[in-house]
Amino acid sequence: MRKFSLVEFSVEHPKLVVVLSVLITLLFMTQFPKMRTDTNPKNMLPATSDVRVWNDEVEKTFGLYEDMIALGIVNEKGILNKDTLAKIRRITDEILKLKGVAARDVSSFTTIDNVTVEGGTLRVAPLMTTVPEDTGGIEYLGKMLYDNPLFLNRIISKDGKTTAIYVPLEKGGNGKEIADKIREIVKKENGDERYYIAGDPVARDTFGAEMFKLMAIFAPIAGMIMLFVRYLMFRDLFLSITLMMDAMISIVWSMGLLIGLGFPIHIMSSMAPVFLMAIATDSIHIFNEFYFRYRETKDKKKAIIETMHAVSRPVRYTALATAAGFAVLLFMNIIPVKVFGGLVAFGTISLRILSFSFIPAMFTFVKEEKIAKIAGTEDTSMGRSSQFLRKLAGFGAHHPKNTVMVGLVLFVIAVVGLSRITVNNNLVEWFKKGSDVRVADSVMNKALGGTSLGYVVAIAKDDDYIKTPEAMTYIEGLQRRLEKLPVVGKTTSVVDYVKRINRVLHDDDPKYDIVPETGEMIGQYLFLFSMSAKPSDLDNVVDYPFRRANIWVQLKTWDAQAMKSVIEAVDDYKKANPTPMEMKPSGIAYFNLVWNHEVLWDMVKGFVLALIVVFGILAFDFRSIKWAIVGYTPLLFTILLVYGVVGFTGKDFDMPISVLSTLSLGMAVDFAIHFVSRLRQRLKEAPGESLSDALLWTAARPGKGIMRNALLFAASFAVMIFAPLTPYITVGAFIVSMMLLSAVMTLIYLPALVTLMQGWLFKGEKI
């Protein structure tokens, strides 16, 4: 009774296997037209998550918008001139007509409410209804702008060179589309003015659009380079394409499954094809071994089966380790993280099934003479690359102590670097320094109060408490405190309106630019304000029963950590000044902070769990904890080194890096498994050989597979370094260094460690 062997079956019925593979692929492909994408990082947290429920509540309570675009208009000669003002007016009018724009709450010179006093008459009107014709009118407009703290740093910069139009978006409005339409509007204007479009929705939706474009460009380029490098390695187009198809088929299967199950493609899952392409390179070991075996047996079928026999265990276990590394993500909290983990795990398993069926089947179609010709070039002792690998391993095997010492020093340095890593995410920094999004953001943050918006909601226990002088004074004090933070550009609250009315009612006397003494006054001032201004002005800063006040905090950076410093400052202020009010953060900046924490820490947690699971698999595969420890060391070391460098370069642990962490583990473990399995196999197969010879043989033969795997990988992902979005550059640089380093580490440190610890490792075993 023989066990059913997938490999043998595939070799016997190659045509059937290929046809079946193609049919299944076509089946999965039928799902593709149903594809939906979701590039909003926000949706990575479920709608029922605390932060989203709370943010929704705050938005509803204060009639706020989730998304806001800021259009900056800069004129180096100053914007207060007839020409520029006329442009502001025209542009605003056009923006109000755009679909998806919440026109009623656009803030611009022509729409923002201005409360002034003239000859004893209180005037509430848009700041600029008509463009002033003469210098007197322009001077008056300037005075109104600079005298009103509600305007300064919001719609006019201190130096008078910059203004901004704030464009809130209706729910579901696409930031990039609206930003593009605004770009068309400003393009019609000519003159000295420069225009900048900033804001979270622009960055986010531009990124989303770019991301898919890049996926469509870089994934195929990476694929083509992989194909080319493979061809250089094996000199056979057919087999190179076969390997490529292996990856493509698994990508189609897993993406088809994802789409078929009704999941939208998130930023994370969009990276899956590239990852699967990476994981697929593992099948290079099969080719590598096949050529060696063929040289030895000269029988194609036999060589195939023998090859599969020799590599099946490591290939199975590398697949298992990689799949498990990603599968642990299934146990995380964040849904897209789970989906991503499941997706890649499924793809990895499909890849392995293909390795044992589709690939051997395809092998049978290659002409024998051709194989013989190529196999002739494969020789462990002669080949130049094999020589080099031997030397590399020899260094570790012959100078194990020095090697380990160097390793320890590097380890300490890496840990120092690692300790410097900050978990942070900054959407704007996903764009390159010179990009439109980034430039716009920095120009506007320099001139005005800040493009990133957070809220601090003061919640009282009783209705109308916000209208008391103590609440008002408290909030005012908090605002001044927050404004001292370097990341805070400007704060706005109901207090600013009350103070404004107080001053205006008293003939614009600056003495009255203070919180009034009685609650009655405050209540009546607010009522007076509501009698003429847009209702949203007040609604944005105070709730209906006057139990909650919303303090707007404009931040000058999109760093998730900025909001953290605001929250800490609020806590400090509260500790020093007790109040019956509770202070709760909210807004997009707060969301980013929570997102950062939840998603990234979820990934960190997943990574740690994956480390443990992978160790378990190693131990199981090697049937030995000792070997698992030895095999695990170079892997862990590589990861430490790479993250150590990340820490030293000051690069944040952001989403792309977090996604890569699991991949790096899955890839690096492959090398260890191949090396250790094959070494132990060799020790059994060639009993007379010394340990160091066996090590050198392993480095030269399966080691060549490892090196090929790493080079192939590095070559194809190096193209990503030229991508216009930083996460792709990160991914590219990270994978390239990870693969090369991990291969070198495996080939140097495994021999060193095995040599050094042979007494312990082989205790009770016969060498």
Partner 1 sequence: MKRSLIIVAAIAVSVALCGSLFAVTPDEMMKKSQAAFLYQGKDFKARVMMKLVSKGGQERVREMTMLRKNYGPAGGEQKYFIYFFQPADVKDMTFMVYKYPGRDADRWLFVPAINMVRRIAAKDKYSSFVGSDFTYEDVSGRDLQEDTHSLVKEEKYGGKDCYVVKSTPKAADMEYSYKLSWIDKADFLPLKEEYYDKRGDLYKVFTADEVKDVKGFPTITKRTMKNLQSGHMTEVTYAKADYNVGIEDSLFSERYLKQPPKKWIE
Site for partner 1, rule CB under 8 A = 57, 60-61, 63, 96-99, 102-104, 118, 120-126, 129, 170, 464, 467, 505, 516, 518-525, 527-528, 530-536, 538-539, 543-545
Instruction: Label residue 206 exposed, middle or buried (CB < 10 Å: 0-12, 13-18, 19+).
Output: buried
Nearer to partner 1, 108 or 386 (CB): 108
Q: Minimum distance between the CB of residue 468 and partner 1, rounded to whole angstroms?
A: 10
Write the single-letter amino acid at 99.
Answer: K
Tell how strand 113-118 and strand 488-492 pair up.
unpaired
Residues in CB range of 616: below 8 A, 6 or more apart: none
Closest CA to 234 of 283, 182, 167: 283
Nearer to partner 1, 56 or 192 (CB): 56
Q: Minimum distance between the CB of residue 651 and partner 1, rounded to whole angstroms?
A: 42
Q: Minimum distance between the CB of residue 166 and partner 1, rounded to whole angstroms?
A: 16
How far are the Cα atoms of 390, 391, 672, 679 from residue 692, in angstroms, in the given order?
10, 12, 17, 10
Q: Minimum distance between the CB of residue 523 and partner 1, rounded to whole angstroms?
A: 3
SS3 state of residue 318: helix
Q: Minimum distance between the CB of residue 462 and partner 1, rounded to whole angstroms?
A: 13
Write the single-letter amino acid at 293.
Answer: R
Nearer to partner 1, 125 or 232 (CB): 125
Give yes or no for a contact between 126 and 120, defined as CB atoms under 8 angstroms apart: no
Nearer to partner 1, 519 or 751 (CB): 519
Nearer to partner 1, 122 or 152 (CB): 122
Nearer to partner 1, 28 or 529 (CB): 529
Structure tokens at 283: 């099948």
Helices (H), ranges, 548-654: 560-576, 587-595, 601-622, 625-649
Q: What is the DSSP letter of 66?
A: S
Give yes or no for a contact between 556 and 488, defined as CB atoms under 8 angstroms apart: yes
CB environment 307-328: b (16+ within 10 A), e (fewer): bbebbbbbbbbbbbbbbbbbbb
Q: Minimum distance between the CB of residue 542 and partner 1, rounded to whole angstroms?
A: 11
Q: Minimum distance between the CB of residue 113 and partner 1, rounded to whole angstroms?
A: 9
Nearer to partner 1, 177 or 539 (CB): 539
Nearer to partner 1, 542 or 641 (CB): 542
Give yes or no for a contact between 344 and 258, defined as CB atoms under 8 angstroms apart: no
Q: Minimum distance between the CB of residue 498 and partner 1, rounded to whole angstroms?
A: 12
Write out the E strands in 328-401: none
Strand order in the sheet with 194-198: 162-168, 68-74, 194-198
Structure tokens at 372: 């013989």
Q: Minimum distance between the CB of residue 634 and partner 1, rounded to whole angstroms?
A: 58
* Dihedral-angle region of residue 199 (phi above 0 means left; psi in -120 to 50 means alpha; beta otherwise): left
Nearer to partner 1, 57 or 693 (CB): 57
Nearer to partner 1, 76 or 520 (CB): 520
Q: Minimum distance between the CB of residue 146 and partner 1, rounded to whole angstroms?
A: 22
Nearer to partner 1, 124 or 244 (CB): 124
Nearer to partner 1, 180 or 689 (CB): 180
Closest CA to 271 of 335, 204, 224, 341: 341
CB atoms within 10 A of CB 172: 8
Q: Minimum distance between the CB of residue 96 and partner 1, rounded to whole angstroms?
A: 6
Nearer to partner 1, 82 or 534 (CB): 534
SS3 state of residue 414: helix
Structure tokens at 158: 């201190």
Give yes or no for a contact between 341 and 326, defined as CB atoms under 8 angstroms apart: yes
Closest CA to 259 of 50, 473, 32: 32
Q: Minimum distance between the CB of residue 590 and partner 1, rounded to whole angstroms?
A: 19
d(CA 245, CA 277): 10
Q: Minimum distance between the CB of residue 636 and partner 1, rounded to whole angstroms?
A: 52
Please compute, for residue 564, the number of CA atoms within 13 A of its CA located in the half-sphere on the CB side: 12
d(CA 54, CA 61): 10
